[in-house]
Amino acid sequence: MRIPHTARVCVLVIGATSFYTYVGQMVPQKEVLPPQETLIRADLTTDDMVKVGQEIMNGKGLCFTCHTLGKTEGPFRFPDLSGVDGRAKTREPGLSDIEYFAQAMYDPNGFVVPGFNPGMPTINKPPIGLTDQEILCVIAYLQTLGGTATVTLQTSHRYYTPAGAAPPGAPGAAPAPATAAAPGAPAAAPGTPAAAPGTPAATPAPAAPAKGTL
């Protein structure tokens, strides 16, 4: 009996579909979920921040999608992070390791390591969208790669100033309150009587201008 051509095509399609469905079920299935927000407690110590930063780099931050750690031979998509803190302290003149790491995440095109192409995303914006506190934790972990972690949740840098913390470069102390005596006025000699009530105070002679002062 001759099987119609249409029937043979249908049997072939059904057989192929069944085969690939079977093979697909043999492949382990992994449910992909959105990254969970990291809980940053207010009492985190620097050591705690290091641990949280490592978790973020392995998870939500997706850092090791492009970076490597301990890879000795290329090709490299982005720089390997082994010993990165030592390089960060001298990579750009005038920038500490904290400021350099902050720039690398908030403004990744501000400095591109020679030999590599731009392409790192801005970490505090979608699709990654790390918070300022999460980025501080990542910086803490990066400091341990060739150095010692020093940041805290109150650490400021030019892209972020925690509430209540002084911004980088801000004057440390407030100016001292003015005293009653005019600057440079000689102290009264012991035993000098006080001026009588209602007597106008003597006006001090104007000081000679210092050389070079406008």
What is the crossing angle of helices 97-106 and 132-143, to 10°?
Answer: 130
pLDDT at 18: 81
Mean pLDDT by 10 residues, the chain (214 residues): 76 82 58 65 97 96 95 92 97 97 98 95 96 98 98 98 83 44 47 48 48 41
pLDDT of res. 175: 43
Contact 137, 57 (CB under 8 A): no
Look up residue 201 and give its two tokens.
């105070």
How big is the chain by its Cα radius of gyration, in Å?
33
Q: Residue 37's pLDDT is what?
A: 67
Q: What does pTM read for this prediction?
A: 0.65
b/e burial code for range 73-96 (CB count within 10 A of at least 16 → b): eeeeebebbeebbebbbebeeebe
Domains, the chain, with CATH or none: 46-143 (1.10.760.10)
The pLDDT of residue 1: 63
Residue 88 CB partners (closer than 8 Å, separation 6+)? 97, 100, 101, 142
pLDDT at 198: 52
Q: Which residue has the tokens 């992994």?
A: 30
